[in-house]
A and B are shown apart, each in its own frame.
Chain A
Amino acid sequence: MPTAVRTESDARLSGFREVQRLAYECAEAVAAQLKPGVTERETARMQREWLRERGVRDWFHLPFAWFGDRTAFVNFRIPLQFFPTNRRLEAGMPFILDMAPVYKGFTADIGYSGCLGLNPVHDRLLADLEAHRELILREVRERRPLREIYEDVDRLMVRQGYANRHRAYPFGVIAHKVDQVKERRWSPNVFGFGTQSLKGLASDALHGHRDGWSPLWSPYKFSDHPPRPGLWAVEPHLGFRGTGAKFEEILVVTDSKDPEQSAFWLDDDLPHVRRWAEEKAA
C-alpha cells in the first residue's frame, strides 16, 4: 500500500515537474529572443504563444513581463500596474518573466530574472537570492510558522541591503499554494488569473479559514501557522534602487517525519540554481 501511495504521489510530482520545466524552457527561449526595443506586451505575448504551441490551454495567471525599474515595482500603487505595458527594453536593463501555465491539469508558477547585457547590480541581486532559497527550505523543514519565516527572509534582505518587493504582490505574499486543476474545454481568465485556479485557491482559503491556515504565505496573522503540506510556489523578490530580481519555483511540503522528506524543492535543475553552481565552480 505505501508503495502504491508513493507511486501515485510520484506521478503527481513528475506532472508538476514537467510543467515547471516547460515554463522555465519557455522563459529561457523567450529571454534569448529579447532585443532592445521589444516591449513588455510583446514579451508577454511571446511567452503565451510559446506555451500555447506546446499544449498549454489554461493558466494560473497569464504571463507577465517587467522591464527596467518595473522589475523592482517602483511606484506601484494598484495591482493593474503589474500588467505588461509598452515599456521598451534597453541595453543593460533588467527584466523579469513571470508565468503560471497549467499543463495536463498540473500548475506551475515560475519567475525568471535576467538582464540585457551587463548589469553588475542585477548580477549581485541574483547571486544573493541563493541565501534566501536555502533559508526558506531550512526553516520550512524546522516547521517554523510561515509568518516568522517571512520575517526572517525580510531580515536577511535588509541585512543584504535590499528592499522586500514581494510585499507589493496582492496580500504581500512570498508564496502561495498551487494545485492540480480540472481541464475544461472553456477556461476563461479574470484579470489575468485562470478561473479554475482561482476556484481552487478560493476553496483552499475557505477550508484553511476553518482550520486555521491559509493558501497565501503572507506577513499577516492568517499566515501564523506551520507550513501546510502541499505545493507552494515560492517567490522571494529583491529590490535595490530600481533593479529587481526574483526566482519562483515550487516547494513541496509533506507531512513526513523525516526532515529531508518533509520539504524539498520540486526540481533542482533550474536556470538560477545552475547559475549559482556555475559561479561556485568558476
Chain B
Amino acid sequence: MSVGEPTGNGMAGARERWVRTGGIELCVAELGDVEQPTVVLVHGYPDSKEVWSEVAVRLAERFHVVLYDVRGHGRSTAPAPLRGGFTLEKLTDDFLAVVDAVSPDRPVHLVGHDWGSVQAWEFATVKRTEGKIASFTSMSGPSLDHFGHWIKTRMTRPTPRRVGQLLGQGAKSWYVYMLHTPVLPELAWRGPLGKRWPKILERVEKVPSGDYPTSSLPQDAAHGAWLYRDNVRARLRRPRADAYAHVPVQLITPTGDAFLSERLYDELELWAPQLVRHTLPAKHWVPRTRPDRLAAWITEFITANEDGVAAQDAVATGPYADRFGGQLVLVTGAASGIGRATAFAFAEAGARIVAVDRDAEGAARTADMSRLIGAPQAWAETVDVSDEQAMEKLAEKVAAEYGIVDVLVNNAGIGLSGSFFDTTSEDWKKVLDVNLWGVIHGCRIFGKQMADRGQGGHIVNTASAAAYQPSKALPAYSTTKAAVLMLSECLRAELAGQGIGVSAICPGFVNTNITSTARFAGVDETEEKRRQKKSARLYGLRNYPPEKVATAILRAVVKNQAVVPVTPEARGAHLMSRFTPRTLRAIARLEPPL
C-alpha cells in the first residue's frame, strides 16, 4: 500500500489524494483543518462521495473531514473480477487504508449513510478496527448481521406483529431482489434508469437538483450491485453472533424512508449499548435533503465523544427527545398558559427554545425554566406579535443568532367576549391584530425562512374549539380562530411539497390565564372584573391543564396531524360539527353561565 500526493481538484476546496490498497486506487478527499478531530464520511448505493458534499462543507468548519469513493464507485477503481471483490472484509481493508493515510495516530469519527452505514457497522463491530474508531453515526443502513438476527427472531417466533414487521420490510426490500438478478440491473442502470435517475430522485425523494448525482452514476450503480450480491445472502443466512459495536453509536432514522423500516432498529440496544437515537421526518437521502440537521447532530455527538462526556447523559428525557433534540423551536405567547407549557414540553425533549411574548418577565422566566429541564439553550424575546415590523426584526435576529426555526408555534392569542353589537370596531381590531395577524406574520416571516432553507420544518397554529363551535357570546374571538384554522389548512396544502407540516390545535376549555385577561365587551369595568373572575373559576373547576395541550402539540408535530381538537369537549364539538351541525347551532344560542 502506498499513499499518493494530495492534488487539488474535485469538491470545492477539497484536497484530493489517492490511497492504494489491495490492487485498488481509492479517491480520497479532505476538507478542513487536519489538526481537528477527523470525520470519515462513507457514501451509499448508488452514490459516490459527492452525496456528502452539503454535509461535508458544514462539518469542515469544525472538523477534519475525509470522504472517499468506495471501490468501484466515483473515481476509485473497481476490483477485477467484480464478483467477490466487494465483500465486507475487503471494504474494511479499504477503510483501514484510508484511516492510516489520513489519521494514523488518532481514532476517527465514522459516519455512514445507506451502504456506507452497512459497511461502517462492519467496521464498528470487527476486532481489527478497535482503537481506530472513536464514534459511529449510522443513518439508513443496518448491520447485515443485526438484520440477519432480526429476521431470525421473527421467523422462529412469528407473532402477528412480528410477521407484519417481516412482511413490511420484505416489501420495502424489493430492489434487493432485483439487484440479485444477473446482468439486468447493469443494463438498466447503464441505459434508461441511469438517465432518468436524477429526475426520479427529485420527484420521488425530493432531493434538490444540482451537482448531485454525478455523471459516474451509471457506472457506480452497475458496480455497486455487487455490494448486494457479495454480502447480503451470505450475511443474512449466517449472521455473525459477535457483531457488538465497540464504539458509541448514534442512530439517525428518517421516518419516511421507503427502503428501511424503523422497526429494524428495535433491538439495537442489544448490539450497541451506548446508543443515541434520533429520528428525522425525511425520506431516504437525508445527506442531500437535511444537511443542517445532520451536521448539527454529528457535531454534537463527536464533541461529546471527544470530550469523553457520554452523550446520553444529556438532561433531555422527555417524550420525543429523539425527534426534537437540538432543534430550534419558537413559541409565541410563551409567558403563560399553553405557550409556556409548550415551551417546557419542547425543552424537555431537548429542543432549543425561543420564548416570545409581550410580557418580558414571563418570557424570561419561561426561558430560564426551560434551560433547567433540558433545553441546551433558551432565549426570551419581547415582541408583540401583531407588530409586523417587530416580527420582521425578530426573525432577522433569530436567523442571525440562533438559526432557522425548525418548529414554529403561533400560540399568542387574547380573549374577547360579548355580543356582536357590543363589540366595537376597536375591539375587533385588537382581537384580529393579535389572534389572526399575529399568526399571519409568524407564518409569513418565519415560514418563509423555513421554506427558503428547504430542509423541512413544522408550523403549529393555536386555533380553538371556537373555530367550529359557534357561540353568541364569542363572535369576534370565534371568527379569528376560524380564520386561523382555515389559514392553517390552506398553508398546509401549500407547504406539503416542501416537507413543512402545518397543524392547527383546537384546545377547548383549558385552565390558563386567558380568562383573567379577556375583554368582555359591552359591560363596565367592575362587571368585566367580575366576569373575568367568574370565568377563571369555571375554567379552574374544569381544570384541564395546559400541559396536556402541550403534549398534544408535540404529538401533532411528530405525526404531522392537520387539525387536533384536544379536550373531550373540543373533540365532541369537532365530531358534531361534521355530523350534527344543528346541535352545535342550538348550543351556540345558550347564554354562558357568567
Asked if B545 contacts A124 (CB within 8 A), the reply is no
CA distance A155 to B543 in the complex (A): 14
Asked if A159 contacts B362 (CB within 8 A), the reply is yes
Asked if A161 contacts B365 (CB within 8 A), the reply is yes
CA distance A159 to B517 in the complex (A): 13
Distance (Å) between the CB of A104 and the closest chain B CB? Answer: 41
CA distance A154 to B515 in the complex (A): 14
Q: Answer whether residue B268 sits at the interface, using C-beta atoms and an 8 A cutoff.
A: no
Contacts of A124 in B (CB 8 A): 369, 372
CA distance A159 to B368 in the complex (A): 13
CA distance A121 to B373 in the complex (A): 7
Q: Answer whether residue B140 sits at the interface, using C-beta atoms and an 8 A cutoff.
A: no
Asked if A241 contacts B366 (CB within 8 A), the reply is no
Knowing A219-B540, A241-B348 are in contact, say whether A161-B373 is a contact too (CB < 8 A). no
Distance (Å) between the CB of B546 and the closest chain A CB? Answer: 9
Q: Answer whether residue A240 sits at the interface, using C-beta atoms and an 8 A cutoff.
A: yes
CA distance A219 to B365 in the complex (A): 26
Report B539-553 CB contacts with A as 1/0, cut-off 8 Å: 010010101000000
Q: Answer whether residue A79 sits at the interface, using C-beta atoms and an 8 A cutoff.
A: no
Contacts of A155 in B (CB 8 A): 513
Asked if B336 contacts A158 (CB within 8 A), the reply is yes
Contacts of B362 in A (CB 8 A): 159
Contacts of B513 in A (CB 8 A): 155, 158
> Which range contains the number of A residues in contact with the other chain?
10 to 19
Contacts of B540 in A (CB 8 A): 154, 219
Interface centre among A160, A163, A241 (most CB of B within 10 A): A241
CA distance A240 to B369 in the complex (A): 10
Asked if B373 contacts A241 (CB within 8 A), the reply is yes
Asked if B365 contacts A160 (CB within 8 A), the reply is yes
Residue of B340, B365, B372, B545 touching A121 (CB-CB under 8 A): B372
Residue of B336, B344, B365, B543 touching A241 (CB-CB under 8 A): B344
Report B357-377 CB contacts with A as 1/0, cut-off 8 Å: 000001001100100110000
Contacts of B543 in A (CB 8 A): 167
Q: Which residue of B lies closest to A124 (CB)?
A: B372
Contacts of B366 in A (CB 8 A): 161
CA distance A158 to B540 in the complex (A): 12
Contacts of A121 in B (CB 8 A): 372-373
Distance (Å) between the CB of A217 and the closest chain B CB? Answer: 16
Knowing A121-B372, A219-B540, A241-B373 are in contact, say whether A161-B348 is a contact too (CB < 8 A). no
Distance (Å) between the CB of A93 and the closest chain B CB? Answer: 13
Task: Please report the number of residue pairs spanning A and B whose Cβ atoms sit closer than 8 angstroms.
Answer: 28
Asked if B545 contacts A161 (CB within 8 A), the reply is no
Distance (Å) between the CB of A277 and the closest chain B CB? Answer: 23
Q: Answer whether residue A117 sits at the interface, using C-beta atoms and an 8 A cutoff.
A: no
CA distance A167 to B336 in the complex (A): 20
CA distance A155 to B540 in the complex (A): 12
CA distance A160 to B361 in the complex (A): 10
Q: Answer whether residue A120 sits at the interface, using C-beta atoms and an 8 A cutoff.
A: yes
Q: Which of A214-250 contact B (CB under 8 A)?
A: 219, 240-241
Contacts of A158 in B (CB 8 A): 336, 513
CA distance A97 to B362 in the complex (A): 31
Distance (Å) between the CB of B138 and the closest chain A CB? Answer: 31
CA distance A158 to B543 in the complex (A): 13
CA distance A159 to B362 in the complex (A): 7
Contacts of A163 in B (CB 8 A): 545, 547
Q: Which of A149-178 contact B (CB under 8 A)?
A: 154-155, 158-161, 163, 167
Contacts of A120 in B (CB 8 A): 372
Q: Which residue of A lies closest to B343 (CB)?
A: A161
CA distance A154 to B539 in the complex (A): 13
CA distance A175 to B446 in the complex (A): 48
CA distance A241 to B543 in the complex (A): 16
Q: Which of B342-395 contact A (CB under 8 A)?
A: 344, 348, 362, 365-366, 369, 372-373
Contacts of B369 in A (CB 8 A): 124, 161, 240
Contacts of B348 in A (CB 8 A): 241
CA distance A161 to B513 in the complex (A): 12
Contacts of A160 in B (CB 8 A): 365
Distance (Å) between the CB of B258 and the closest chain A CB? Answer: 37
Contacts of B344 in A (CB 8 A): 161, 241
Contacts of A154 in B (CB 8 A): 540
Provide a sorted-by-A list of 17 A–B residue pairs whose CB atoms are within 8 angstroms: A121-B372, A121-B373, A154-B540, A155-B513, A158-B513, A159-B362, A160-B365, A161-B340, A161-B365, A161-B366, A161-B369, A163-B545, A163-B547, A240-B369, A240-B373, A241-B344, A241-B348
Q: A154-B540, A158-B336, A161-B365 are in contact. List 8 more A-B contacts (CB 8 A).
A: A159-B362, A159-B365, A161-B340, A161-B369, A167-B543, A219-B540, A241-B344, A241-B547
